[in-house]
Amino acid sequence: MADAASNLLKGWETIEPTGNTREKLLDVAQELIQTRGINAFSFQHLSQAVGIRKASVHHHFATKADLIESLMARYLADFEGLTKGILASKVNGKTKLKRYCNLFLETLKSGKHEKSCLCGMLMAEVSSVEEPVQNQIRQFLRDNLDVLESILRDGSRDGSLNVTLNSQKSIKSTALVVLSTLEGGLLIARSDHGPEQFSGMVTRLVALLSAT
C-alpha cells in the first residue's frame, strides 16, 4: 500500500468506464449502513473498502449528507422497480404479499453480514440525518404503504386475503401493520435467530391476513 505511485500507474491500465467508482462507493456505503448504521461508518472505512483515498471520496460526494441523500435516491428507485414488478405480476393478492415480504427476507440474507432495511436503519438514527433525507424516508414509507394497500385490495378482491374493506382507514392501518412487522422483524431477527426466525414470522403474518 505504500507504493501509491505504482498503484496509480498500473491502476490506469485497467481503469474501467467512469461512473464505476461512484457506484461502488454507493454499494459499500449501503452495505455498511445496513449492517452498522449511519453513525458507525466513516469516509475512512468507505475509502479503504473501495480502495481509494478518503479525500477522493469527497470528490464524488462532497459531504456525508450528500452521500446518504444520493444513496437513498438510488434505494428508492430500486425498491420502486421491485414493487412495481410484484404489482404487475398476474398472481393473487396473497402471493403478491408473500413476494413483497420476501424482498425483506432477501435483504436480510444478502451479503456477508446480516443486513437490515436501509430505510429502517435511517429511521432508527433519524435524528442524525438532514431534512432532505428525512423527507426521503417519509417518501419510502408512503411508497411502500401504497404498494401494500394495493396488494391488500387485490387480495380482498380475489378472495385470497381477508381484509375488512368497509373502512378506508382500516386498510391503511393494515398496511402499516405489515410494514411495521417487516421492519421490526428484520431488526429482531438480525439480533436473535436470523433469517429462519424472520421467515417463520412472515408465514404467520400472511396467515393472519389470509382468508379462512
Partner DNA sequence: CTTGAGCTACCTACCGATTGGTAGGTCTTG
Partner DNA sequence: CAAGACCTACCAATCGGTAGGTAGCTCAAG
Q: Is residue 56 near DNA by the rule CB under 7 A?
A: yes
Establish if 19 lies at the interface with DNA (CB under 7 A).
yes
Window of 11-19, 29-37, 85-93, 162-170 that interacts with DNA by CB under 7 A? 11-19
Using DSSP, state whether 108 is helix, strand or coil. Answer: helix
Residue 18 DSSP SS3: coil
3-class SS at 55?
helix
φ, ψ of residue 102 to 5 degrees: the values are: -65, -25
- What contacts 167, CB < 8 A, 6 or more positions away? none
Give whichever of 86 and 205 is closer to a second copy, judged by the CB atom. Answer: 205
Q: How far apart are CA 187 and CA 180, in angstroms?
A: 11
The minimum distance between CB 118 and DNA, in angstroms, equals 17
Q: Does 55 help bind DNA (rule: CB under 7 A)? A: yes
Query: Which residues inside 135-154 make contact with a second copy, applying CB under 8 A?
Result: 137-138, 141
Residue 136: closest CA among 146, 151, 126: 126
Q: Is the dihedral of CA 83, 79, 101, 173 positive or negative?
A: negative
**What residues make contact with DNA under the rule CB under 7 A?**
4, 7-9, 12, 14, 18-19, 21-22, 41-45, 47, 51-56, 58-60, 62-65
**What residues make contact with a second copy under the rule CB under 8 A?**
35-37, 39-40, 113, 116, 120-121, 123-128, 134, 137-138, 141, 169-170, 173-174, 176-177, 179-185, 187-188, 190-192, 197, 200-201, 203-205, 208-209
